[in-house]
Amino acid sequence: MTTRMIAGSRWLPAVSTCFALAVGLGLGAGPLQGEDDTATRPRSAAPRGEAQTFPDAFAAAVAPGLYGRRLAGQSVALVTLPGADAVVVKALTDEIVAAGGSVASRTDVTAGLTAPGQKVLVDTFGTQLAEQVPGVVDPAATTYPRIGRLVAAAVATSGAAGPASAGAATIRRSLVAGSLISDPGTAGVAPLVLVVAGADLDDAIASGLVSGLAAGAHGVVVTAPTKAADLAAVREGAPTAATVDGSETAAGRVASVLALVRQISGGGGSFGASGIDGAVPLG
């Protein structure tokens, strides 16, 4: 393992507790009152009109201290699923940078890969591509873990970040040619993967895809809108991945980046608005 490990900075328990409390108030909090704060609106908050909920404003304000630049020197591959909100994707990218990290690549998974009616095509394509790049995929892998592992080979690494190898570039071009992914940006490989979910997917597809990604990356975090149905299936099929719901809120996005920090040293978990392990990973 050559992934660079970052020593955790000191945490301020009082600030951490307040942050978790603020997230927990989300459903009941109303908008902040007062004059227009456009000029001073915290970076973490996605545009939502002229007012923010208190948890979002609080999360945006404390995020820099919570991050402590603990993603410094770390590279993240951004993978979006169909229905992912472009505003949320941009805000998450900004949060990664604010924590000291960088985005090595962005890959948009298409409905051609995730639609249940496309399973035969995905299975055939994945089988043929796996045969062309022997040693990447477990021969016993089924349809969606197989295609997830191939996507991982194109964007992720269990070692150090760097430019895509010839093999990774070949797989990426093949997936693009098969209309299973689109490539809106520079391609590189990264040890950390942030999957941004949107519309609900079939459980087997979501679970298999993420388990395949997790098999080829050092760490994976899946972030989704509040109470997203996919996350339970992802946790069952890919227990090493971390899940966070509430990506439409600043609090959820901050929790997503802290989950990436946690993945540096390993560890799954369920966090966010409905997280069974707490609102935010504090360890």
3-state secondary structure of 67: helix
Output the pLDDT for position 161: 73
Output the pLDDT for position 283: 64
Regions of the chain with pLDDT less than 50:
1-50
Output the pLDDT for position 51: 53
Output the pLDDT for position 188: 81
Contacts of residue 193, defined as CB under 8 A and 6 or more positions apart, other chains included, come to 76, 77, 78, 79, 152, 155, 156, 213, 217, 219, 220, 221
Indicate whether this model's pTM tops 0.75: yes
Domain ranges for the chain: 69-272
Instruction: Dump the DSSP string for 191-219.
Output: SEEEEE--S---HHHHHHHHHHHHHTSSE
Output the pLDDT for position 53: 80
- Helices 250-264 and 54-67 pack at an angle, to 10 degrees, of 20
Output the pLDDT for position 47: 46
User: What does the pLDDT look like over 174-221, one tens digit per residue?
Assistant: 999 999 999 776 678 999 999 999 989 999 999 999 999 999 999 999
Output the pLDDT for position 185: 62
Output the pLDDT for position 35: 37
Contacts of residue 13, defined as CB under 8 A and 6 or more positions apart, other chains included, come to none
Output the pLDDT for position 166: 80
Output the pLDDT for position 162: 67
